[in-house]
């Protein structure tokens, strides 16, 4: 079994070996201290937090806020996710930390805005090029932080944080890995003359992504019709193993990222067409995970989180999803690009049947899970995630009041409370250049979740408050050096 702990012992908060490095140590110390105060202060909310649950994060790819029955979709059937929401907590203001795949995954697994690690892209995407880039060795992933707290770790599904061996999951805290190292549309080998038609009538042989176990390719091209099914079987096998210590399972689906594929059990069954088939199979997968926890007696010992890496990829028409009432989708910083489903489930610990409009983010999973595990949030860097246990337990509110919206390396928008300011706007995909706004556009997301009515002229005082929040945020924002394009094909 791999032992990734030595490499990160100093960064995981070991008081005898912790090191502050680099010229940005002061801003990092200030920022991380604020986060650590939030983590350490949880019991003061009135309920002592339980310790050391199993942690499962189920992460969909390009699934929109409005794609589930429990979030209002009229024709996609998601009984298992609906039940998960009814038995747990459903958040309606839950965010991915980025608008596209790679940065959002880096943020989830580090608890940090992706600009800090360099795991974000420039405005000019680099497609189908061989890049040696990947998640920096200096980052302390959630898997590494939980392994340091005595957890078993496993990763199933899409990675997309670098495809060379040194960047794959088993070198960043995961003991096992089974999945595709990036998006399922990469390494395209179809005739270019097919254009977008390759996505609307997809065939497995049009793409050549590798299915991997550990660092070894076991199938290429991956048979994508059965990808969701086989990922689920792998996850269930892991859950059914005897566990002598708590575990962390990161289960990141490739679907519903195009090209869309569903198994025979689901193909042609949904009124929503192929996209609905894919979502309904994902729902089945969630049901298999939760039922396994129930039948093996692990349900009351396990925190399960379901979310998505960004909003729906709207340019693919009916092969893309729904952002519900929100504007735009994947690739943009309007609400539809970054507001995603967020469902938290833990029988006996998270009160059932709750809905909350409190602001929270995928980065917060990091601080929450590490605190519940009895671990230590790294104290030599800024960690942007906050501990959500007060909100999850029903004992208090979310410590998060603000959300910053990045597109690549630039901050486009900021939210504080119910108000959101746009400093730069740009269509998510297709035509349209960035437009800077002075004064910024301002929207009241409480009454205008679709961001249609600019109220900047009526509320200059709100803009000043948001500007102060942005300036505080920028003080501790030191960009990482590893600027990485989000789309990387695998090379042997």
CA geometry: angle at 327 spanning 321 and 332, to 5°? 80
| 152-157 and 176-179 strand pairing | parallel
- The verdict on whether 163 is a catalytic residue reads no
Give how far the C-alpha of residue 423 lies from the chain's centroid of Cα atoms, to the nearest Å.
Answer: 24
pLDDT tens across 154-202, in order?
A: 999 999 999 999 999 999 999 999 999 999 999 998 776 788 999 999 9
| Gap between the Cα atoms of 238 and 211, Å rounded | 18
- Render pLDDT for 342-378 as a digit per residue (tens, 0 to 9): 999 999 999 999 999 999 999 999 999 999 999 999 9
Q: What pLDDT shows up at residue 224?
A: 98
What confidence score (pLDDT) does residue 412 get? 98
pLDDT at 47 over 90: no
Residue 199 CB neighbour total at 10 angstroms: 21
Using a pLDDT cut of 90, give the percent of the chain over it. Answer: 80
Report helix angle 274-295 to 227-240, nearest 10: 10
| Known catalytic residue at 361 | no
What are 411-428's pLDDT values in tens digits?
A: 999 999 999 999 999 999
**The pLDDT of residue 1:** 33
Among 6-20, 62-76, 330-344, 386-400, the minimum mean pLDDT is found in: 6-20
* pLDDT at residue 8 tops 60: no
pLDDT in tens, 248-263: 999 999 999 999 999 9
Q: How far is CA 208 from CA 203, 217, 220, 230, in A?
A: 11, 12, 6, 18
3-class secondary-structure state, position 441: strand
Question: Confidence band (pLDDT; 50, 70, 90) for 35?
Answer: very low
Q: Could you tell me the fold of the domain covering 5-400? A: Alkaline Phosphatase, subunit A (3.40.720)
Of the pLDDT bands very low, low, confident and very high (cuts 50, 70, 90), residue 482 is low
Give the residue extent of every domain in the chain.
5-400, 405-475
Higher pLDDT, 214 or 127: 214
pLDDT digits (tens, 9 = 90+) for 118-161: 998 643 343 233 456 899 999 999 999 999 999 999 999 999 99
Output 194 or 9, whichever has higher pLDDT: 194
Which pLDDT belongs to residue 337? 98
Per-residue confidence band for 480, with pLDDT thresholds at 50, 70 and 90: confident
**CATH topology assigned to domain 405-475:** Arylsulfatase, C-terminal domain (3.30.1120)
When pLDDT is averaged across residues 105-113 and rounded to a whole number, the result is 98
Q: From the candidates 8, 121, 160, 319, which is the catalytic residue?
A: 160
pLDDT computed for residue 132 by the predictor: 66
Q: Of 6, 250, 219, which is closest to residue 105 (Cα–Cα)?
A: 250
Mean pLDDT for the stretch of residues 318-326: 98
pLDDT value, residue 48: 66
Catalytic residue among 101, 120, 155, 361: 101
């Amino acid at each position: 079994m791999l032992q990734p702990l030595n490499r990160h012992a100093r960064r995981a908060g070991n008081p005898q070996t912790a090191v502050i490095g680099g010229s940005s140590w002061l801003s990092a110390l200030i920022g991380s201290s604020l986060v650590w105060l939030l983590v350490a202060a949880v019991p003061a909310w009135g309920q002592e937090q339980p310790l050391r649950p199993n942690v499962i994060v189920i992460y969909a790819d390009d699934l929109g806020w409005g794609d589930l029955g429990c979030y209002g979709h009229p024709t996609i059937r998601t009984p298992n996710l609906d039940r998960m929401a009814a038995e747990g907590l459903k958040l309606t203001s839950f965010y991915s930390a980025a608008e596209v795949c790679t940065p959002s995954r880096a943020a989830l697994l580090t608890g940090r805005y992706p600009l800090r690690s360099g795991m974000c892209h420039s405005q000019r995407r680099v497609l189908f090029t061989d890049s040696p880039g990947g998640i920096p060795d200096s980052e302390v992933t959630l898997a590494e932080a939980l392994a340091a707290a005595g957890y078993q770790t496993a990763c199933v599904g899409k990675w997309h944080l670098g495809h060379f061996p040194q960047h794959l999951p088993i070198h960043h805290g995961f003991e096992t890995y089974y999945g595709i190292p990036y998006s399922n549309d990469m390494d395209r080998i179809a005739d270019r003359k097919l254009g977008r038609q390759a996505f609307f009538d997809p065939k497995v042989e049009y793409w050549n992504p590798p299915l991997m176990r550990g660092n070894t390719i076991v199938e290429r091209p991956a048979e994508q019709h059965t990808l969701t099914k086989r990922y689920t079987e792998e996850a269930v096998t892991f859950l059914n193993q005897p566990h002598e210590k708590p575990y962390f399972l990161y289960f990141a689906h490739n679907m519903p990222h195009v090209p869309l594929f569903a198994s025979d059990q689901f193909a042609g069954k949904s009124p929503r067409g192929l996209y609905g088939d894919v979502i309904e199979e994902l729902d089945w997968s969630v049901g298999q995970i939760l039922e396994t926890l129930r039948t093996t007696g692990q349900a009351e010992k396990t925190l399960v989180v379901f979310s998505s890496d960004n909003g729906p990829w709207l340019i693919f028409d009916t092969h893309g999803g729904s952002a519900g009432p929100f504007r735009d989708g994947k690739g943009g910083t309007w609400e539809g690009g970054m507001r995603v489903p967020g469902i938290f489930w833990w029988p006996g610990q998270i009160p059932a049947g709750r809905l909350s409009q409190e602001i929270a983010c995928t980065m917060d999973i990091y601080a929450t899970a590490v605190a519940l595990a009895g671990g230590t949030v790294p104290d030599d860097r800024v960690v942007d995630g906050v501990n959500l246990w007060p909100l999850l337990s029903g004992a208090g509110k979310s410590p998060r009041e603000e959300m910053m919206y990045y597109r690549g390396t630039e901050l486009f928008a900021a939210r504080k409370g119910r108000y959101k300011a746009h400093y730069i706007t740009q269509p998510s995909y297709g035509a349209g250049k960035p437009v800077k706004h002075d004064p910024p556009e301002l929207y009241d997301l409480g009454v205008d979740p679709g961001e249609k009515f600019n109220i900047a002229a009526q509320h200059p005082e709100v803009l000043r408050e948001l500007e102060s929040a942005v300036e505080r945020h920028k003080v501790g924002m030191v960009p990482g050096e590893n600027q990485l394009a989000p789309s990387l094909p695998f090379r042997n």
